[in-house]
Amino acid sequence: MSDGFFLWYRTTWSGQEAAGLLTTLDACGLRTTNPGSGRVSLISNGPGSYGEQAFTTKAELLQRMAATADATGTVDEVNFQLWADADADVFTRVRRLPGGVTSLEFGLDGLDGEQLKHSVAALLRTLDTYRDGTLGFVLDRQGEGEELDWDAVLTGAAARIAPLPDTLGLHRAYVPLHPELAMAEAKPVEYGDLLVFNLR
């Protein structure tokens, strides 16, 4: 089973982008609606409860996702489930960071090999569809770098990246801050404003 994660940092975020993101993920096989029950699920994040599943509608989910774009609002995070199949979910968090950056977090823990392959492919296809506005991304299939401060790394801090993830897309302006990447065997690939390192 995987304990991994996929992180995607964006400099743009809106209700329209949230709707497009869910539509594309659905088309790629990560569904907002559980294919067995037909339900959409939020996951509570306090203050009254944490980690509890609460059923909602897609319209309500989109409204909450869009609300995280409002720096003057009270909603800075929303947690919900995407579904690889009726029994395999991908915990998803949309989180507003300082400076107008939005973090999209996808938990890959608990997925078997086929579910992991399917989910990663869907996420990468969706990333490619919405590459404009991407500040950076991280794919760590085993979750070995879970304790790293990825918020800092992806927004321009010189924090050391160790252990290295499977794949790292970093804004080219930030690459000189991380000499450890120069030791990677594979040369980085240009991807818009990013350099993408396939590290393992």
Q: What is the pLDDT of residue 45?
A: 84
pLDDT beneath 50: ranges in the chain: none
Specify the pLDDT at position 71: 79
Per the structure, the complete domain to which residue 28 belongs is given by 3-198
Q: What is the DSSP letter of 11?
A: S
Pairing of strands 50-56, 40-45: antiparallel
Residue position matching structure tokens 């940092």: 9
Q: What is the pLDDT of residue 48?
A: 73
User: pLDDT tens, 55-89?
Assistant: 999 999 999 999 998 877 778 999 999 999 999 99
> Which pLDDT score is estimated for 145?
94
**Number of structural domains, the chain?**
1
Strands of the sheet with 88-96, listed across from one edge: 50-56, 40-45, 77-85, 88-96, 102-109, 3-10, 134-140, 167-171, 194-198, 189-191
